[in-house]
Structure 1
Amino acid sequence: MKQTTFLLVFGVVLSFCQAQSETGGEETGGEEEHVELFTTPATKMGAATSDFGYNLFRALASRESATNIFLAPITVSAVLTQLSMGGSEQAERQLYRALRYHTLQDPQLHTTLKDLLASVKAPGKGLSTAARIYLARRLRLKQDFFSLVEQQYGVRPKALLGGNRDMKEINDWVSQETGGKVQRFLAKALPRNSAVNTVSAAYFKGKWVTRFSQSGVMENFQVDGGSPVRISMMQQDNYPVKMGADSDLSCTIAQIQMQDDISMFIFLPDDVTSNMTLLEESLTAEFVQDLSMTLLPAQVSLTLPTLKLSYSTDLLPLLNDLGLAEWLETPDLEKISGQAATLSSVNHKVVMETAPEGNQYPSATSTTSHLSYRVDRPFLYLIRDEASGALLFIGRVVNPKDLSI
C-alpha cells in the first residue's frame, strides 16, 4: 500500500487541531486500527467490493478520459456475484478473482455479501439499488439456478420475452426497486441475440450531518482547456471537515461527514486538470482507510457544487481489463443452461443528488475560519460506508455543466 504523507494545510488553525493530530495522526496507531478493521467478515467483504470498484473505475477512466464518469460498484459486485452462482468451479474462481473474493477465504461468502448489501441500504443512508440477471429463453434454462439466486439474494433471475417487452419489463423493475428514482434504465431494446444480461442500478441522495446555509449560488467552475462555466454551489463558513494534502498526488483531500455513518471524500487537484490518472491509480481500500485515519479535523469555509447527475453505460468491454478475457470467451455457465451461453451486456446506471440540508448547524463562532476549501475545478470523489469501509459511489467531475438528471 502506498504510504501517505500529508502536508497539513491548516495555516492559522493548525494550533487548534494540534490535540487531534497528536492522537489521530500517529502512523503506528493508524496502522493498528486499520489492520483491526479488516479482520471481520463484513469489513473484509467491504474491502473486496471496494477494490473491485476501484479497478472497474480505473478501467472506465482509461477508456473515457477527460469526461464525467460515475459508478456504484457495489451493485455491479452484487449482480456479478449472482452470475458466479451459475458457473462451473473454474468459472467461479475466475469471477471471484476479478471480484477480489479470492482474498477472503470466507465459507459464508454469499451470506456475508447479502448482509453487507442490507446494511448499506438501511433507511437513512440514502442508497437504493437494483441488481438482476436476465436470460434468453432459448437457452433451456435450469430452474435450480433461479431458485438458488432467489433464496440467497431475494431476487429471481428472469427469462427474456424479446424486443420492446423486455425493455419495458427491465425499466419498470429498476424504477420500482429504486423508488422511481432511476428511470429509463434502458434507452433501447437489448440486442436480438442476447443470451445473458446483467442489470445493476443505484440511486443515492445522502444528507449531510452539517447543513449548508447558502445554496443555489451561481459561481465559476474552472474547466481544463476551456472557459469557466457557471454552476450552482452550496456554501458554508466554519464547516467541520477532516482534511489534508498529499504532495505526491498534488491534491488536497477533504472528508465530509454524511448522516448514518456515510462520508464523502473529495480529491481536489492543485491545478485545473482533467488528467487524474495518478490519483485514480492510487485508489485502493487500504489507501482510503489510511486517509480516514490520517486526515485532521478543521473548520473551513466550504464551497461545493450542487450535484445532480444521471450516468449509464455498458460495462461489458471493461471486464477484459479486469482479467476476465478468457472467462468471457468461454464463461461455462453450466448451472444456468446445458447450452453454451455468453454474456451479452453488463448494463449499469446511476443517479445521484446532493442537497444543502443537514440535521445540524455549524458551530456558532464570532470569527470566520481563514481556511477555505473551494471545489471549483475538476475533482474526483467517492462515497463510503464507514462501518464496513464499502465503496458505494465513485465519480470524476470535469464539467458539472454537462451533468443532467
Structure 2
Amino acid sequence: MKRTTFLLVFGVILSFSQAQLDTGGEETGGEEEHVELFTTPATKMGAATSDFGYNLFRALASQEAATNVFLAPISVSAALTQLSMGGSEQAQRQLFRALRYHTLQDPQLHNTLKDLLASVRTPGKGLSTAARIYLSRRLRPKQDFFGLVEQQYGVRPKALSGGPKDVTEINNWVSQETGGKVQRLLTKPLPRNSGVNTVSAAYFKGKWVTRFGQSGAMENFQVDGGVPVRIPMMQQDNYPVKMGADSDLSCTIVQIQMQDDVSMFVFLPDEVTSNMTLLEESLTAEFVQDLSMTLLPAQVFLSLPALRLSYSTDLLPLLSDLGLSDWLADTDLDKISTQSAKLASLNHKVAMETVPEGNQYPSAASSAHLSYRVDRPFLYLIRDESSGALLFIGRVVNPKDLMI
C-alpha cells in the first residue's frame, strides 16, 4: 500500500512536533514496518474486522451516492460470524474470506473475536452492540447450533413464530441490548417463510478527553450544489489534536482523542464535495494505523458538528460486492436446520450522539493559529486504539438531514 504523503505546511504543527518527526521517520519507513503493524491476535482480529468494515462501507457508499451513510462494522462481523458456525466447511471458507478472517490463521478465531467484542463494549468506550440470528417458523432448527452460538457469543439464535409480534420481539431485544438507544430496527414484518435473518445494531456515545467550551452555536454548513444549512456546532480554541494534510487525497485529517483509548478521525476534503470516492477507496486498517503514527500534534480552533443520527438499511444486497455471490446462491447452512436454508436479510441499524463534555479543559495558552472547521461534507471514523478495530464509520454530506 502506498504511504500517505503529508504536506505538513503548518508551522505551528512542525514546531510542536519536531522531536517526534525526527524519530518517526525511522519507525515508519520501509516495508518491514507494514508486516509488524498487527502482531497480536487482538490487533490482527481488529484489522480483519476493520478491513471487512471498510469494504462494506465502500459498497454501501457507492450504492447510496451523495447521501449520509453510516455503519458499525464490528456488529455486522459479529452477526455474520455467528452465521458462519452454521455453514458447511466450504460455505464457512467463503464467508471467512469476505470477513477477512482468511488472513488470520487463528485456530482460536471465535475466542479472539469474543474477547475483542467484550473489550470494545466496556462501558467507558461508549459503544453498545447487538447481533443475533432469527429463523423462519418453517425451518426445523438444530438445537446443537443454537447451543454452540450461545456458548460462544452469549446470545441464543431465535426461532420466529411469524407475524407482527416477531417485529415487536426483535425490536425490544435490540433496544434492550443498546440501552434503549436503537429503536424500531424493523418497521415491517419479515417475509413469511423467509429462511434465516440476521440483525445487527450499535449505539455510540463516546466522551472526549478534552471538553468543548461552546456547544450549540449555529453555523453555516456548506452543501454540495445547494444552499448552506444552519446546524449546531461544538467549538473550542486551543484544542489538542493530531493533524496532517494529504495532497493525493486532497483532504486534511485530524485525530481527536476520546476517553478509554478511543479516537475519532475526521477527513475533511479541501473542496465542498459529496463525491468522496477517492478517499473512501483509500481506507484500510493499515492506512488508518499509518495515520495514527504519522499525524502530528497541534492545537487548533476546532469547530465540529454536534451529531445526532439514526440510520438503518438491509445490507444483504451488498454482500455480492464482497465476493459472496456464489455463497448467497447456495449458503449451505446445513448445521442450522434439517431443511435447506438461505440468508434472507441482514438488517442493520445504528445511532450515534456526540456531546461537548470531556474530563479535562484545554490549555489556557494564547489562541491557536490553526483552525479546523468541519463546515462542509466530511467522512469520519471511530476507532479503538488498543486493538485498532473500526467501531463506527460515516459520511456526512448534510447534517440537517440527520435525526435520531
TM bracket (short chain): over 0.9
State how 1:66-215 maps to structure 2 within 5 Å: 66-215=66-215
Paired with 1:381 and 1:9, the residues of 2 have a C-alpha distance of 23
Moved more, 96-105 or 37-46: 37-46
How far is the alpha carbon of 1:3 from its aligned partner?
1.2
Structure 1's 192 and 220: CA in aligned 2 closer, same or farther, altered over 3 A? Answer: same
CA distance in structure 2 between the partners assigned to 1:34 and 1:257 by the alignment:
24
In the other structure, the counterpart of 2:232 is 232
Contact 1:309 1:404 in 2 (8 A): yes
The answer to whether the 8 A contact 1:20-1:297 is kept is: no
Q: Please state how far the C-alpha of 1:140 moved relative to its aligned partner.
A: 1.0
Q: Distance in 1 between matches of 2:66 and 2:381?
A: 17
What is residue 343 of structure 1 aligned with on the other side?
A: 343
Instruction: Specify the alignment match of 1:369 in structure 2.
Output: 368
Per-residue deviation, 1:309: 0.2
Match of 2:289 in 1: 289
What's the TM-score, normalizing by structure 1?
A: 0.98
Which amino acid letter does the alignment assign opposite residue 206 of structure 2? G
* Counterparts of 1:26 and 1:247, CA distance in 2: 22
Deviation at 1:340, TM superposition (A): 1.1
Deviation of 1:169 (Å) = 0.3
Following superposition, the deviation at residue 363 of structure 1 comes to 1.3
Separation (CA, whole Å) in 2 of partners of 1:228 and 1:30: 44
Alignment of structure 1 residues 373-388 onto 2, 5 Å: 373-388=372-387
Residue deviations 1:331-365, cap 9 Å, x none?
00000112111111000000000000000100121
> Which amino acid is the alignment partner of residue 379 of structure 2?
L
Flag structure 1 segments of 5+ consecutive residues without an equivalent. none
* Pair 1:276-2:292 in alignment: no
Structure 1 residue 34: deviation in Å?
Answer: 5.6
Q: 1:33, CA displacement in angstroms?
A: 6.0
1:310 is aligned to: 310
Question: Which region of structure 1 is more displaced relative to structure 2, 49-58 or 30-39?
Answer: 30-39
1:12, distance to aligned residue in structure 2 (A): 4.1
% identity of equivalent residues: 85
Aligned partners of 1:348 and 1:25: how far apart in 2? 41
Structure 1 residue 13: Cα displacement: 4.6
Task: Answer yes or no: is the 8 Å Cα contact 1:30–1:294 preserved in 2.
Answer: no
Structure 1 position 401 matched with structure 2 position 403: no
In 2: Cα distance, 1:127 partner to 1:13 partner: 32
Q: Structure 2, unaligned stretches of length 5 or more?
A: none
In the alignment, the residues of structure 2 paired with residue 30 and residue 305 of structure 1 have an alpha-carbon distance, to the nearest angstrom, of 38
- Number of matched residues? 404
Aligned-pair distance for 1:328? 0.4
For the residue of structure 2 that corresponds to 1:7, the secondary structure is coil
For 1:311 and 1:272, locate their aligned partners in 2 and report how far apart those are by CA, in whole Å: 23
Q: Distance in 1 between matches of 2:398 and 2:282?
A: 22
Residue 35 of structure 1, CA deviation? 4.0
Distance in structure 1 (CA, Å) of the matches to 2:28 and 2:383: 23
Offset, 1:10:
1.9
- Offset of residue 16 of structure 1: 2.8
> CA distance change for structure 1 residues 290 and 12 in 2, over 3 Å: closer, same or farther?
closer
Equivalent pair of 1:222/1:228 in contact (CA under 8 Å): yes
Q: State how far apart, in whole Å, the 1-side matches of 2:65 and 2:194 are.
A: 29
Contact 1:46 1:390 in 2 (8 A): yes
Aligned-partner residue type, residue 309 of structure 1: L
In structure 2, distance between residues paired with 1:87 and 1:280: 32
> Per the alignment, in what secondary structure is the counterpart of residue 301 of structure 2?
strand
Distance 1:211 1:30, change over 3 A: farther
TM-score computed with the length of structure 2 as normaliser? 0.98
Larger deviation, residues 10-19 vs 254-263 = 10-19
Contact 1:216/1:232, CA 8 A, preserved across alignment? yes
Please give the per-residue CA displacement for 1:276-296, whole angstroms capped at 9, x wherever unaligned.
000000000000000101000
